[in-house]
Amino acid sequence: MEDISDVMRQRQAKTDELSQLGVELYPHKYSPDHTSAGILEKFSDVGNEPDETQSVVISGRIMTRRDHGNSGFAHLQDSRGQIQIYVRKNNVGTDTYEIYKKLDIGDFIGVCGSVFQTRTGEITVSARDVVLLSKSCRPLPEKFHGLQDKETRYRQRYADLIMNQEVKEVFINRSRIIQTMRDFLNNLDYLEVETPILQPIYGGANARPFITHHNVLDIPLFLRIANELYLKRLIVGGLDRVYEFAKDFRNEGMDRDHNPEFTMIELYQAYADYRDMMNLTENMISHTVKTVFDKVEIGCQGTLISYAPPWKRMTMIDSLNEIAGIDIEEKSDLEFVNILKESGEDVEENTPRGNLIADLFETLVEPKLIQPTFIVDYPIEVSPLAKKKRDNEQFVERFELFINGMEVGNAFSELNDPIDQRKRFIEQANKRELGDEEAFMMDEDYLRALEYGMPPTGGLGIGIDRLTMLLTDQSSIRDVILFPQMRPER
């Protein structure tokens, strides 16, 4: 394989030659009037001779080229795909053809010409003029050799997008997923809002934050781990339906479904509870799947997932009984600890019973929830912001949505009793004093907001990255984040 530095020197020599010929290497503007996909659709029945009365102007990156004496074919790639061009010396003129011969794969060019169909049936633009738009100094990676390494693809996402059309489709679909959800909520009179990313007190989730310092105020600030408490302040203020697509940050480990920076949608609706949020979640996601992909069943990692409602609903206790064979009422805390240790989990014997139940569920049940399933009614110990269950105060009105063994959404009947909330914050503060870095901080301003009065409220959070993983059949969260966090290059 030719050394990349040799190739770059050869390209620099061509660049110098073009410059000496008076060619503008990086012009300011070009105005194409067609895309590759638009031409393929519009001229699907074009004949074998260019129609000189119909002109198209396109632009893109040269991806392949093959020259034959005084003519040649190349493929241009734009944001919509690829199209073939035909460049003939007699058509473009001697000077332009000599410039074209000095161009490289990777260069951006503009082409004006007419469309025809080759003898092999490929729709092609016959060029009347070719203009260099940007000279590529570095050779593109080889499709099957230079861009298979996952780490390289994540670090050089720009090259990944150039070489792998299927990667580009993932991110186009990600954008469509978000837009469809936004339209769905707007049609239900939800208001899109923005809340602070830099927060003096972090909260809304059990997680470790990233910490920074504001020099002028001389105070520590935290990148938000969730936007929940600010959105609920807006419910207090009288905005009855709010949502936000939010970047959140958690100073934690990285694996196939965790990245330190990730995207959530959180929404809150006054006068609703967690069952309303369940219905909303089911309707919004199934609508999104149908709108974006025009079907309700999507394959994910070899499994066909059906998003057609209704989705299964079961309590955490019932799921442990039915799926793991554990009857909560018949076993002691010590037995829970032993089961977890036998499953390879590190657990302390003085762990509260509610935490043990949640750990058992996460270890023994969660990986087996393949089709969309709502798990409802969580132990109060693991849900400090949710209302107690109406008929059993050891549990709270909370659900999580699981698809293909992965948690995708989380929702509560929101706790709006300031006295109860203060008590739970104090319990969390005690955990922090005992060394739990992920326990909630005391937020006096949020308590003050609750003291003004917050109506009954349902709240919901959905992980956009994880949902996109499922809907685009990707195995890692880094495959659906354009620029995932990486270790620094050496």
- Show the DSSP H helices in 148-239 as ranges: 150-155, 157-163, 165-186, 228-236
Give yes or no for a contact between 337 and 346, defined as CB atoms under 8 angstroms apart. Answer: no
Q: Retrieve residue 160's tokens.
A: 């990944």
Instruction: Using pLDDT thresholds of 50, 70 and 90, give the confidence band for residue 428.
Output: confident
Residue 146 has pLDDT above 60, yes or no: no
pLDDT digits (tens, 9 = 90+) for 262-313: 999 999 999 999 999 999 999 999 999 999 999 999 999 999 999 999 999 9
Domain 162-311+371-479 has CATH 3.40.50.300: no
pLDDT in the model for residue 144: 46
Q: What percent of the chain has pLDDT over 70?
A: 98
Q: If DSSP codes are grouped into helix, strand and coil, which group holds residue 238?
A: coil
- Per-residue model confidence as pLDDT tens digits over 63-93: 999 999 899 999 999 999 999 999 999 999 9
State the pTM of this model. 0.93
Residue 328 tokens read as 């909560």
What's the whole-number mean pLDDT along residues 382-402? 94
Which of 4-13, 52-61, 105-114 has maximum average pLDDT?
A: 105-114
| CATH dotted code for 4-140 | 2.40.50.140
Q: Is 428 helix (H, G, I), strand (E, B) or coil?
A: helix
Residue 152 and residue 135: Cα distance in Å, rounded?
Answer: 23
Under DSSP, the state recorded for 258 is B
Q: For strands 191-192 and 81-88, give the pairing.
A: unpaired
pLDDT(145) > 70: no
Query: What is the pLDDT confidence band of residue 147, given thresholds at 50, 70 and 90?
Result: low
Identify whether the C-beta of residue 402 lies closer than 8 Å to the C-beta of residue 300: no
Distance CA 162, CA 140 (A): 8
Q: Could you read off the pLDDT of 193-218 as tens digits, one per residue?
A: 999 999 999 988 888 999 999 999 99
How far, in Å, CA of 165 to CA of 82, rounded? 10
Give 328's Cβ-side CA count (13 Å radius).
19
Q: How far is CA 149 from CA 141, 152, 299, 426, in A?
A: 11, 5, 24, 49
Q: Where are the domains of the chain?
A: 4-140, 162-311+371-479
For residues 135 and 8, what is the distance between their CA atoms, to the nearest angstrom? Answer: 12
Give the C-alpha separation, 428 to 381, whole Å. 10
Query: Looking up tokens 């990777």, which residue turns up?
Result: 106
Please provide the average confidence, as pLDDT, over all residues in the chain. 94
Which residues, other chains included, contact 386 with Cβ-Cβ below 8 Å and sequence gap of 6+? 274, 378, 380, 396, 397, 398, 412, 413, 414, 415
Strands 457-463 and 261-270: antiparallel
In which band, very low, low, confident or very high, does the pLDDT at 2 lie, cut at 50, 70 and 90?
A: low
CB 458 within 8 A of CB 267: no
